[in-house]
Amino acid sequence: MNGKKSIYFNKYCRNKNYSYLCFDFRGHGKSSGTFTDYGISDWYDDLYKLIKFLKIANPILVGSSMGGWVAMLFSLKNPKKIQKLIGIAPAPDFTTELLWRELSEKNKKLIKSNKIVRKKISDDFYYDYSPKLFINSKNCLIKNMNKTFKGEAIFFHGASDHTVPYNYNNKFLKRKNFPQLLYITIKGADHSMSDNYSLKNISKFI
């Protein structure tokens, strides 16, 4: 967890004398496993078991992008176990609402044939999408959940985000899942929301 957001929030919480925990899901960063072996249900289990094992009570849950989906899922399934939800460019249901729609018919057929599809992001970075990502996530779709988290929920989006559009989660302004939702769009911020201005504004809600 050496990303700019993790380092910033770690320092912020230390200065405020807040307890702080940040971790990599299986298949990410320095954690064990291979990304293509997992889906959202597995990463939800990582979060659930970690909170249970460490006996963490009433935390402020912060999730970025895919982690935002996991955090939203946890808050809806365990509404009394957290005090506040913060989503940083959260990407709930991205497997069906974003990724699957962007894949070519050829790549969709490959995934349906149990093959892994590689998508180039830049010259030195790519994503591998496996059948398990879709299969192990289909029972975690927020759009199919009628549960409610009545605590404070804040979603941050960058107006220059080309991965998860800043209006992607507008639907939750009308749905009943998060009745205390505050939706904040920051001009000029990209998907990472790792610029100092974004981080300073996010930290105000911790």
pLDDT digits 0-9 by tens, 40-91: 999 999 999 999 999 999 999 999 999 999 999 999 999 999 999 999 999 9
| Domain limits, the chain | 4-16+26-93+141-203
Do 95 and 143 form a contact (C-beta atoms < 8 A)? no
117-122 vs 125-129, strand pairing mode: antiparallel
* pLDDT (0 to 100) of residue 81: 95
Rounded to whole angstroms, the Cα distance separating 197 from 177 reads: 29
Which three-class secondary structure state does DSSP give residue 74?
helix
Query: In the predicted model, what is the mean pLDDT of the chain?
Result: 94
Interhelix angle 40-53/66-77, rounded to 10 degrees, is 60
194 HSE (CA, 13 A, CB side): 10
Rounded to whole angstroms, the Cα distance separating 44 from 72 reads: 10
Identify the architecture of domain 4-16+26-93+141-203 in CATH: 3-Layer(aba) Sandwich (3.40)
Helix (H) or strand (E) run with residue 202 in it: helix 196-203
Rounded to whole angstroms, the Cα distance separating 50 from 68 reads: 17
Nearest 5°: phi and psi at 119?
-115, 120
Rounded to whole angstroms, the Cα distance separating 160 from 74 reads: 28
Rounded to whole angstroms, the Cα distance separating 76 from 80 reads: 9
pLDDT in tens, 153-192: 999 999 999 999 999 999 999 999 999 999 999 999 999 9
C-alpha distance from residue 84 to each of 11, 139, 163, 206 (Å)? 20, 24, 25, 9
* pLDDT (0 to 100) of residue 127: 83
**Tokens 């006996």 — which residue?**
55
